[in-house]
Structure 1
Amino acid sequence: MKGPLFYAKILLFGEYGIIKDSKGLAIPFNAYRGALKTSKNLEGISKKSNENLYKFYNHIASLNSDVVSFNLEAFKKDLENGMYFDSSIPQGYGVGSSGALVASIYDNYADDKITVLENLTREKLLKLKEIFSLMESFFHGKSSGLDPLNSYLSLPILINSKENIEPAGIPSQKKGKGAVFLLDSEQVGETEPMVNIFMNKMKNEGFRKMISEEFALHTDACIENFLQGDVKSLFGNVKSLSKVVLKNFKPMIPDAFHKVWENGIATNDYYLKLCGSGGGGYILGFTENYKKAQESLKDYKLELVYRF
């Protein structure tokens, strides 16, 4: 048995904001992927994956939901035959490792599944998101369902609000100097503690005001600029967003990167923002001159995501 490939995802804009119903833009990231495989001799990582899939199977079996049902018999049989999830997607890095796994299990075992080939109405997209949210809650306690949705469809997705999501056309990449890149913090981040910090901060009126008046405003502008290919305006808005995040989301930025973050804003060589929930994993970078950013960040591992 060898299942189809499901890719990592990058939430370009909207981390935390989408919890509070502001806009977001997620894109597939094909450099990392995962697929279900079977082996008669499970050992090491594949053995651990098989054990974790058994736990996930129990979660799926206990879902008492009207929106989805699964072929649990086939799922269990495949587990007994040595099924595991073979993935190159780093865990705890904010690029959707659990999302790809959820997408592959849905694809393989859901009854009456919504396929990528059919006409994806808003209703179908919302239904998929709801199903994936139920499934992925096993990993994070609370899930928007967006990571698996992005992985399953392998399309850029524009989140206008919780009830309004649509596939988005993003401008094709150019061979320009500008780039979006990933900066490796070389630390693993955990989603749940970070989301808890955010939820506690949301109890503060000043923080809520900042989210709606500054964070969401800059995020929405960045998304609009990006989708329209307005690179000049984009970098102005990304710089503003980077400042807001540094000032208000310090616990989500690993300590060792506070100075690196400030340096980007001061020099304009690059601007950083959170990738996923933060706390470690990848940090997302935007630069008008990738070569310059590489020189400035020569002590760190960078990965190219998109060229302007």
Structure 2
Amino acid sequence: MGLRLPSLQALLVFEAAARHMSLTRAALELNVTPVAVSRMVARLEDALGFQLFARTKTGLALTDEGAKLHVAVALGFGQVSDTITELKSRKEESETVTLSISSGFASQWLLPRLERFQHAFPSVNLRLQVMASRLYGPLDGADLGIRLHKPGSEHDALCFCPELIIAVCSPGYLAEHGPLDAPRQAGGHTLIHLEPTTHTWADYFELTRVMNHASAKHASYSDPGLALQGAMLGHGALLGWLLAVAAPLNTGAVVPASDRLVETGCNYVLECRTREPSGSVRKVSQWLIDEMRAELAKVAPILASLERIRSGALN
């Protein structure tokens, strides 16, 4: 048998009036007129068959019946509110956050931090959408994604990392072959190419005026993560984007292969799929930004030792 209860709207109005002991203050809270509150309370009293308020010279006073009903209604609404809050919190805590990133960034920056991420967000399931190509275009269903933006994007609140291009190699490769700026006569260099890319070795040599590369050998990769792995293993020199090489530069897995870097003026920005992301997505995005800021601060002395060549024309 179903419960026969007054309308929830009437009980809500009664609870506000009883809590404030004022029709006027209840009306302000509910964004209605005091007359509307008074009429709703009167209809509720008619439906129940007993008075809820006694009208005195000093204002409202709850009757015995009204006081008992107020305790029950306040308790009921409170439990409903607490349950809704708990359910929302549980849903947010168990949320899956999808991140769209490059393979180089995933393998060299994010995966070594995965344990720290899981400690910070024990109930968030992280799903990676790894892109082997350049970081352009829509997020395609991902909640967050790193994308390359034009100059001026450094003012974006979610600006993640500047686009700096650095020739890198393993310490062992550098010891054997010397820097690109002054290669040793025996053997020459091996240049690792990434295809497709925004800046090629030809672009780099034109910008930096490094000329001693005529005898270089060549190796090509279509995946940035594999190309960076090849450079770390000593297979050659690679044009590395700071987004992916900041971490291996800081650990010493790679070192600059030249005393010059290319600064495009563009920036990698952490994009959100919606204008009103969930609490988990907001927290994850801030965690990623804070972690990258710490990484960039650590790599800053290495970058400061290199000459910056500015170019925005090749993007």
Bin of the TM-score, shorter chain as denominator length: under 0.3
Query: Normalised by the size of structure 1, how large is the TM-score?
Result: 0.23
Larger-gyration structure (1/2): 2
Structure with bigger RCO (C-alpha 8 Å, 6+ apart): 1
Specify which structure has the higher proportion of strand: 2
Q: TM-score, normalised by structure 2?
A: 0.22
